[in-house]
Structure 1
Amino acid sequence: MPKHLTENICEEAAFERVYNKYSEDVHNFLYYKYGSKYNPRDKVQEAFIKLWDNCKQVTFTKAKSYLFTVANNMMLNEIKHEKVVLKHQKTKPKHYTNETPEFVLEQEEYLEKYNKVLSSLKEEQRVAFLLSKVEGKKHSEIAELLGVTQKTVEYRIYTAFTILKNELEGFKIK
């Protein structure tokens, strides 16, 4: 078997021979198949970079096949990416909701009432309630933060919840 068939293309001279022999062929193949839109020269350069990165695994006899396959796959990936971009550009964001104006108004009024009742709570009740329900802290964590017992925190949250429930129609918390 001749030496050049299994020759390592990691050597500069061998790689240069592969480049000189196949670069124009790969470019022409890409250009004729896909046109100039996807920059066939760039894909050829990228294919040779990949060949250089993987030179230990690719023999001289497999170099041509490797280059054509890699370059073709790069073009196909570019086309696929362009299709995704075009599809994304076609989808228009929704500038509407299924909520009626009455619902939106009721929601705003309810939020206003909620904030008013919340501000009328005693500070220790409001703080304990918000730490528990808004920030999701456990009763033991709140007790440690406020420097009180866990039972005190539970009582403050319970009384705040009771006031909110009495003042606001349909008030529920999970």
Structure 2
Amino acid sequence: MTDIAAIPLTRIDGTPDSLAAYTGHVLLVVNVASKCGLTPQYEGLEKLYNAYKDKGFEVLGFPANDFGAQEPGTDEEIVEFCSLNYGVSFPLFAKADVTGESKQPLYAALTQAQPEKVGPAAEFRERLKGYGMTPTEDPEVLWNFEKFLIARDGTVAGRFAPGVEPAAPELVGAIEAELAK
């Protein structure tokens, strides 16, 4: 399996980064979008970040335009949208694919490490079909705001379907359990 900490990443401002910079932290990696019905989850993600950041927790946002073209903006437009509308202060990374043949290496490693998600994925998939959309199948990322929880040791500790809100007990409980280790 790929060492996810070693995968090169690019911050939304263009600077190079990797998950190695967050060694020893509990991470919540989320593919985000500005024009999605789930976009209000930014508010909950910011609350989670503020509640736990002093305990070694980071939310890392990865904008992606894979689903319904719901992240059409440039990196600069994404930063402005997140700041003005949700006061996002957690790190954002450059827009990149999270599914399909051209998905970024981090998402290839995450979906390989944790192919199944917790939460109402089947119901969400059926709802998408009802809207005339063709959803992905596991292990691919289902939609915007899917969440991967990464333990302090760099292993993938959990994966949560897009409909799992940031304040959901199963997500908060998993974060707190990892922080307690």
TM-score normalised by structure 2 residue count: 0.20
If asked which structure has higher relative contact order (CA below 8 Å, sep 6+), I would say 2
Higher Rg = 1
Which structure shows the bigger proportion of residues in strand conformation? Answer: 2
Which structure shows the bigger proportion of residues in helix conformation? Answer: 1
